[in-house]
Structure 1
Amino acid sequence: MKKNCLLVLLLVITVWGCKKSTSIVPEPGGGGGSISAAAITSAKLEVKYNAGKIATDVLFTIDEANNQLLAVLPDVNAVKKLAVTFTTRTPGTLIKVVDTLLISGTTVTDYSLPVTYKVQTPQGVTRDYKVMVKVFTGIPIINITSSGAITSKETYVNGTVSVNGNGEFESKSPATMRIRGRGNSSWSLFPKKPYRIKLDNKSSMLGMPSAKDWVLLANYNDKTLMRNRVALELARRLGSDFAPESRFVEVFLNGQYQGNYLMTAQVEVNTARVNITEMTASSTDITGGYLLELDYRLDAPNWFRTTKDLPVAIKSPDEKATPAQLAYIKKYFQDTEDAIFSSNWGDPVNGYAKFINSDSFVNWLLTMETVKNQDARDFSSVFFFKDKGAKMGMGPVWDFDLSSGNIDSTIAKNPENWYVRDGTWFLRLAQDYNFNIKVRNRWTAMRATAVEQIFRDIDYNEKYLALSQKKNFEKWPILDKYIWRNAVVTGAYDKEVDYMRTFLKTRVAWIDKNIMQF
C-alpha cells in the first residue's frame, strides 16, 4: 500500500513538473523573453514635431499579427521625411532603422519606401516591424497629364503618365504616352470615364509585366468597385488562360481627382498578355495565332457569323489580316461548331475534342458561372484564341461589372440555376460525359482553395479600399442612386459589399448542391 501511494505521489510530481516546464517556454523573439515585451504600443506623427509637413496629427495603425505599422497622410503631395512619436511596452527599449537609433519625436526618417524598425528590450528581446507611410487613401496613384480633352474612343490625345506606388509598388517618373476613351456603355452612359493608355515605350506598371497598352476601368456602376478584381483573381487561381493581373489605383487627370479605378492589361496578343504567335501579313504558317471575340456589337474590321448565328470578331490579326488568314480562322471556328453539333460530337478523336482544348474551356466556364456574368452567355467579351499548330482555347476572361448580382433585368440576377452553361456551345458540351466529368472534377478540386478565396478577397478589398471608396463616392455621390443595371440601391458602401458577398455565398452553395447534375 505504501509502495502504491509513493508511486502515485511521484507521478503527480512528474506531471506537475512537466506542466511547470511547459508554461515557461518563451515566445520567439530572442533574449529568452516573450516577443510581446518588444511591442510598440503607440505611434503617431505629430504636427509639433513635423512643422510645415503635416496639417494634423496622424495615428499609425498597429497590426500586431503581421508586425506592421501604417499611417496614411491625407495630402496627396505630403512629404515623407518625418519624425515619429512612439511608445513601447518595456521601459528602456531601443528602436533602430539600420544603424540609426530613433529618438521619439526627434529623429527624422525617410518613409518614401517601407522602413524596418528593429526593436530591442534591455533584456535582449528583439522584434522587427515593417513601417509604412502612405498618402491620400493609401493605394497607388496614377497621375495623367493630357494635351487636350479626352472626348473619343478612337482618337488618342498626347500626354504623360506617372505612377506613385505609395510604398506598395515601384514609382515611375512621368512617361510620354497617348490616351483615349474605351468601353461601350461605360463610355457612353456614365460620367466617370474609362481610359486606354498607350505608352511610347514598354514599361512595367505596379509590378505587372511590361507592355505599352494599359486599361483603366472606371467601375462606375459597380458600387463595390471590386467585381472585376475579384473575378480576375478567381480566374487566375483557376488557371483560366491569360487572365490579366490588376491593381486598384487612384486616378488624377490634369490635377483633378477622377476616382478609384482598376488598372489592368489590354486584351491583346503580346508575350505578357495573350502569349501566342503574333500573325503578320507575311506569316507563312496560317494556323495561328488568332485572337477572336464573340461580340454582338460587331465593331471589329473583320468578323463573321457561324451557322448557329454567333457573331465572331477577329481581333488579331486586325485589318492587316490576309484573305488566306481570314479564310482559315473562319473555317476552323465553323468546323469546331459543326463538330460540337455533329452526330459523333463526343468522339475523342473526330468529335469536338479534335478542335478545342477542353481544359481551357472548363476553366473559363467555371470562372464565368461562379460569378454569373451577364455578358458571358454569347453576348460580348467572350474571347477565344488559337495558337500555331494548336487547338482553340478560351480566354482571357474579361468584363465583370454586370456579374455577382449586379444586374436588374435578366435571369443572371438570380444566384441559382445554371446560366453561362446554357449558351449555344456550352449547352451542347455539357451533354457530353467527358466534358461533364471535367467540369465536376475541376470544381471539386478548386472548391476549397480558389473558390473559397473569393470571400477572403472580398473581406480584404473592403478593408483595403476603406479610404479610397470614401473619396470615390465623394467625387461620385451615387450610393443612394440607381445606376443602369443595378439590382439594388443600398445607400451605403458596406451594404453594397454585403449584397455582393451574400449573392456569391448563395451562388457557390447552389453550385455545390448541383454540380453533379451539371
Structure 2
Amino acid sequence: MRILLLPLLLPLLLCGCVWDGTEDSPEFLPLDDSQYPYADLPRIVIETEGFKEIRERETEIPSHLQIYGENAPESPVFSLTVRGRGNSSFKMPKYGMKLEFDEKISLFGMPENRDWALVGNFGDKTHLRNFMMTRLSEWLMARYTPRCRYVEVFLNRKYVGLYLLSETVKVGKARVNIAKNDSSFLFEKESSKKQDSPFITTSMGYSFHVKNPRDLKPESADMLLSHLNEFEYFLQHGSARSGKETYEWIDMYDFLRYYWVQEFSKNEDGIFARSIFMTWQKGGLLHFGPLWDFDISFGNESYKKNRPADGWYIRNYHWFNYIMKDPGVRKAVRDYWFENRDIFHSLVDSVPLYVSNISRALENEYRRWPIMENTENWALKDPYKDYDEALDSLVLWMEARYEWINNALK
C-alpha cells in the first residue's frame, strides 16, 4: 500500500498514522494508488461522513475532498456535501456526483464557485463526447460554455474512475450571466417522465424546470409561461397571425450555434427531450444554451441505429421543426454551416490530441470498469474488442456526418 503525503507528514507515516486531526476536520485524506497509479491527471479524493454510500440524488452527504498530484496533496482538505447526479446515468454502475462546497473555491484555475459536477461518462466508451462538445461550443464563441477538466476519482478509499470535473449550469457572473431578479429566467427542458420543481408546462405540453429565479414566485412563473405560450402560438400559426418574425422571438446567433452542434452530433437529448437550457429576460429575446449532456451523441445511441448519413435529425422534432419552416431561418442555417464548417472538421482532427491527454487514465478506467464488450446497459449498445475500435467508430461516424451535411447543403 502506497500513501502519498506532503513531506512534512512523513513522520506520521512512520508511526503508522493515516489520519491527522479529527474525522470532522482531517488535515489530509489517505490515497492508495497501488492498483491504479498516477496517470498524468489530478486525483480527486473524497470521503463521505461515516463512509456512507451515495444511493440517491436528493440526500446531501457531508464529506471531505482533497486534490492529489503525482506525489503529494496539492490542496487543503475541503468540506462539502456530495450527492448523486444525472438522470438515466445515475442508474449506471458508475454514476455522476454533485459537489457543493461549504465556501466558494477555484478548481484548476476555473472561477470560484460552490457548485461543481463530476460527470462519469459511463455510457460513452471513448470518454470524449461531452468534452468534445465543450471544445466545439467554445470555438463557435458561445456566450457560456461550462468549463471542465479530466480527473480521476477515489471515493471512500476506492478508485471509481475517470471523470470530467465540470462547472454546473447556474446563474452567475462567470457562468450564465443574466440578472438575478424575478424577471430573468434560466430554464431547462425536462423529460415527461421526470419533472423537477419548480416547473411550468406550456400549451404544447412541454415541461421546463425553472432554475432561476431560485425562489420562483407565482407571478414570475406566470410571466415566463405566458411568454413561452405566445412563442408557441407563433410557431404554430406563423407571422401572419402573430405579427412577428422568428428573429423577433429568438436570438438567431445563439440558435444557429446551438442547432448545428446538436445536428452535427445527432445528440439524442437534443431532439427536445431534455438537457436543453434556455434563458429569457423580460422584454428580450429567447436564447438557446448553454450546451450540455452529449454522451448519447456522435453515433452513440440508446435505442436505434441513427447512422450519420440517414438525414436530418434535430430539425425534424418539436420546436425545431416549426422554426425550420421559416425560409429565412433555413437560409441562415445553410450559410452558418459553410461559414463555420472548418471548425466542425477541426473537432475530428483534434481527437488524437484529446485521447493522448487521457490515455494512461483510460488504462485505469477499463481496469476498474471492463465494459468494452458489454451491451447490457441501455447506453452500451455497441460492443468493441478494445478502445481503439471504439475510437475508430467515433471518428468514422464524425467524418461521414461531416461529408453528408456538405453534400446535403450543396
Query: TM-score scaled to structure 1, two decimals?
Result: 0.68
Match of 1:447 among 334, 341, 345: 341
Query: Which position in structure 2 is the counterpart of 1:225?
Result: 127
2: CA distance between counterparts of 1:165 and 1:453?
31
8 Å Cα contact 1:292-1:316 kept in structure 2: no
Query: Which position in structure 2 is the counterpart of 1:153?
Result: 57
Q: How many aligned positions are there?
A: 377
2: CA distance between counterparts of 1:336 and 1:171?
50
8 Å Cα contact 2:38-2:70 kept in structure 1: no
1: CA distance between counterparts of 2:263 and 2:381?
18
Residue 198 of structure 1 aligns to a residue whose secondary structure is: strand
Structure 1 residue runs of 5 or longer lacking an equivalent are 1-54, 56-74, 81-134
Q: Which one has more relative contact order, counting CA pairs under 8 Å at least 6 apart? A: 2
State the Cα distance separating 1:376 from its structure 2 match: 0.9
Residue 208 of structure 1 aligns to a residue whose secondary structure is: coil
Query: Which position in structure 1 is the counterpart of 2:201?
Result: 305
Match of 2:76 among 169, 173, 176: 173
State the Cα distance separating 1:408 from its structure 2 match: 4.8
Output the amino acid matched with 1:443.
Answer: W
2: CA distance between counterparts of 1:144 and 1:484?
28
1:331 matched to 2:222? no
1:235 matched to 2:137? yes
State the Cα distance separating 1:433 from its structure 2 match: 2.2
Query: Which position in structure 2 is the counterpart of 1:403?
Result: 297
1:360 matched to 2:258? no
Query: Which position in structure 1 is the counterpart of 2:30?
Result: none
Sequence identity, in percent? 25
Match of 2:66 among 159, 162, 167: 162
State the Cα distance separating 1:79 from its structure 2 match: 8.4
1:182 matched to 2:85? yes
2: CA distance between counterparts of 1:142 and 1:442?
40
Residue 267 of structure 1 aligns to a residue whose secondary structure is: coil
State the Cα distance separating 1:211 from its structure 2 match: 1.1
Query: Which position in structure 2 is the counterpart of 1:489?
Result: 383
Tell me whether 209-218 or 409-418 shows the greater mean CA deviation.
Answer: 409-418
Q: Higher helix share goes to which structure? A: 2
Query: Which position in structure 2 is the counterpart of 1:77?
Result: 4
8 Å Cα contact 1:247-1:262 kept in structure 2: yes
* Structure exhibiting the larger radius of gyration computed from Cα positions: 1
Q: Deviations over 1:477-511 (max 9, x none)?
A: 11121132334211201111111111111111111
2: CA distance between counterparts of 1:213 and 1:297?
26
Residue 172 of structure 1 aligns to a residue whose secondary structure is: coil
State the Cα distance separating 1:381 from its structure 2 match: 0.5
Query: TM-score scaled to structure 2, two decimals?
Result: 0.86
8 Å Cα contact 2:96-2:120 kept in structure 1: yes
State the Cα distance separating 1:388 from its structure 2 match: 4.8
Match of 2:192 among 272, 282, 296: 296
Query: Which position in structure 1 is the counterpart of 2:175?
Result: 273
RMSD over aligned Cα atoms = 2.4
1: CA distance between counterparts of 2:262 and 2:65?
33
1: CA distance between counterparts of 2:208 and 2:80?
31
Match of 2:148 among 237, 243, 246: 246
8 Å Cα contact 1:416-1:506 kept in structure 2: no
8 Å Cα contact 1:269-1:291 kept in structure 2: no
Q: Higher strand share goes to which structure? A: 1
State the Cα distance separating 1:428 from its structure 2 match: 1.9
Tell me whether 325-334 or 304-313 shows the greater mean CA deviation.
Answer: 304-313
Query: Which position in structure 2 is the counterpart of 1:381?
Result: 275
State the Cα distance separating 1:271 from its structure 2 match: 1.7
Query: Which position in structure 1 is the counterpart of 2:369?
Result: 476
1:321 matched to 2:216? yes
Residue 396 of structure 2 aligns to a residue whose secondary structure is: helix
8 Å Cα contact 1:293-1:312 kept in structure 2: yes
Q: Deviations over 1:400-444 (max 9, x none)?
A: 111111115335344431111112121222222221122122211
Residue 273 of structure 1 aligns to a residue whose secondary structure is: coil
